[in-house]
A and B are shown apart, each in its own frame.
Chain A
Amino acid sequence: MLVISTMVNDRTRSYLQPMGLTGGFDEDQDLAAVAFTATATMDCFSQQTVADLFLLYDGPITAQAMQWLRRLANERPVQVILHRGTDSEEDRLRVENQRTKLSTLPGLQQPILLEHASCGWVYDALMELAVCLRRKDEQGYEAVLHNLRLRFNSDSLLDQRLQLLHRCLTAQGAAQALVETTLLKSLLINLEEGPFIHTLVLELAATTDDGSAVYQNRLTALRELLLKGVME
């Protein structure tokens, strides 16, 4: 089961509460899958539960929150989700500080950065989960959870494949991909056709005219190899 935890700080609470939007949750209590947790009750909460996804509030990560995250990360892989926020300097710095602080936690998966405007769907989904729980609507609960999981599970292998393909739209990009070993290495390790992929990228990088039919055909062959089985 996917366990999601949302920590709400006073700033968030200050706009959610007046709009009646925290009413859907039994605040500060573990709802099995969803919880809004105030920093004050974090310790009590962390005794009871673990989390797969952790939605972090927009603010400095306190020592207490770090302690809690460390404990969670020790129990299972936990994915932390940050708000990108606005384009303001304040938010940019906040994200940078949050990332720096999180990087000191061993075992934590790379944080996902969400655009602020898109966080509405996370909130909607959490609210719907809470409603389903209250109504004991198991089917509805599973459907919302499934969608939420799909949204969060960004497929990193597919991302790498798409990144490589976009890079290879030009011969110059293919040559760059060969130098940036991390991208290619991961694909070569994870995919059965690794050696063929490597050969094709080498050929693409060596082609002088990337507008030629030969180049386009090779790139199409690379696409077929990389996306084989993805779209079933």
Chain B
Amino acid sequence: MNPAILCGWNQEPFAERLADEPGFIVCCDQDNFFARLLEDSVQAVILAAELTWSGEAPSVFYGFEVLCRMRAETGLGCAVVMASFMEGEWLRRRFPILDFQSHHPLVRLPARPQVLRQAAMNAKPADRFRLRDMVRSYCDPRGRLLRLLTHGNGFRKLAALQVPLSPSDQQALMQDARLLERWLEHLPADAEHIAQLKNLLDRIDKIGRTPTVENISDARRMLQEICRSRRPESRSESHGKNDNGL
């Protein structure tokens, strides 16, 4: 199968127009987009900056959030064309990940599908060093990890429930653990913190194999310890550059 150009675009009717283009796969839905990224052979990605996935308004420019997640969670370095009606410099000030311009060219709309295709063909994929650099500098791995630990569906269940965890709780926990593992790769050097998180992953792995009361309690204690040590008072470092400090 020939590599495809995957489009994350949910603004109709242009999404339909893109879907008519040969070699384009258009995903109007976020889950489908991430699934196709991993399943299909993808040469390049085209993302609308004004995606309204997850109930976000166009002016939130959720496409950049998808870009960050895609880079960090799937580890894909393929070229990503961002498309927006807004002017490049204005967007760059708000989303400095656009500084990696050769990997993330910005096409200002309106543009025909052919123009988007051309930009996708000309953009460069990022090697793993560039990829790590962009995620570390612009995607706030530290903040995201903390949010995952405190707000992930699986981790919330682990923290809140008394043993035993239901099969669906366990499944959610394993999903969160997989995400944690991904974002962990992008943490700046902090040996103690990384060791703590790896420890937690080991314990969750144990739950996956043997969900005993002891293993679950063990993981819960570890999670609580990590969250306590990461409360805002103990975090003096700033968040990622495109995180608005939140």
Which residues of A approach B to under 8 Å, CB–CB? 11, 14-16, 18-21, 23-24, 84, 86-87, 112-125, 127-128, 131, 143-144, 147-148, 150-151, 154-156, 158-159, 162-163, 165-170, 172-173, 176, 211, 216, 219-220, 223, 227, 230-231
B57-A154 in contact (CB<8A): yes
Beyond contacts A20-B227, A21-B150: 9 other A-B pairs, Cβ-Cβ < 8 A, are: A120-B146, A154-B57, A159-B58, A162-B50, A166-B58, A167-B13, A168-B110, A170-B17, A227-B86
Q: Which of B131-139, B184-192, B228-236 contacts A (4 or more CB under 8 A)?
A: B228-236
Whole-angstrom CA separation of A167 from B232 in the bound complex = 43
Considering only CB atoms, which chain A residue lies closest to B89 in the complex? A231
Alpha-carbon distance A148/B244, docked complex (angstroms): 8
Known: A20-B227, A154-B57. Is A147-B232 also a contact (CB below 8 A)?
no
Among B50, B146, B152, B233, the residue within 8 A (CB) of A166 is B50
Known: A118-B54, A162-B50, A231-B86. A173 touches B160 (CB 8 A): no
Say yes or no: B151 contacts A86, CB within 8 Å: no
Interchain nearest-CB distance for A185 vs B (Å): 18
A124, A156, A227 interface centre (most CB from chain B within 10 Å): A124
Once the chains bind, are A231 and B90 in contact (CB under 8 Å)?
yes
Contact yes or no, A166 B11, CB < 8 A? yes
Q: Are B56 and A119 in contact (CB under 8 A)?
A: no
Question: What residues on A are CB-neighbors of B148 within 8 Å?
Answer: 117, 120
Binding site for A on B (CB under 8 A): 11-14, 17, 31, 48, 50, 54-60, 65, 85-87, 90, 109-110, 112, 143-144, 146-148, 150-153, 156-157, 159-160, 220, 223-224, 227-228, 231-233, 239, 243-246
Q: Is the CB of A18 within 8 A of B159?
A: yes
B8 to chain A, nearest CB (A): 14
Instruction: Determine whether the beta carbon of A15 is less than 8 Å from that of B159.
Output: yes
Nearest A residue (CB) for B90? A231
A167–B246 touching, CB < 8 Å: no
Evaluate contact between A125 and B55: CB separation under 8 angstroms: no
CB closest residue in chain A, given B56: A115
Q: How far is the CA of A122 from the CA of B147 in the complex (A)?
A: 10
A155 and B59 contact, Cβ closer than 8 Å, known pairs A122-B246, A165-B85 = yes
B22 to chain A, nearest CB (A): 15
Contact A151 B246 (CB under 8 A): yes
A-B contacts, 28 of them at CB < 8 A, read A11-B160, A19-B159, A19-B224, A20-B224, A24-B233, A84-B55, A117-B148, A118-B65, A124-B143, A125-B246, A127-B232, A128-B232, A143-B245, A155-B57, A156-B57, A163-B58, A165-B85, A165-B109, A166-B14, A166-B48, A167-B13, A168-B110, A169-B13, A169-B110, A227-B85, A227-B87, A231-B86, A231-B87
Q: Majority SS of interface residues in chain A?
A: helix
Cβ contact within 8 Å between B151 and A116: yes
Docked Cα-Cα span, A220 to B108, in Å, equals: 10
Once the chains bind, are A114 and B245 in contact (CB under 8 Å)?
Answer: no
Shortest CB-to-CB span from B16 to chain A, Å, is 8
Q: Report chain A residues within 8 Å CB of B65.
A: 118
Q: How far is the CA of A106 from the CA of B106 in the complex (A)?
A: 43
Partner of B232, one of A124, A165, A223: A124
Chain B residues contacting A220 (CB-CB under 8 Å) are 110
A120 touches B150 (CB 8 A): yes
List the 6 shortest-distance A-B pairs measured between CB atoms, nearest first.
A120-B147, A115-B54, A15-B160, A19-B227, A166-B11, A121-B246
Chain B: CB-nearest residue to A14: B160
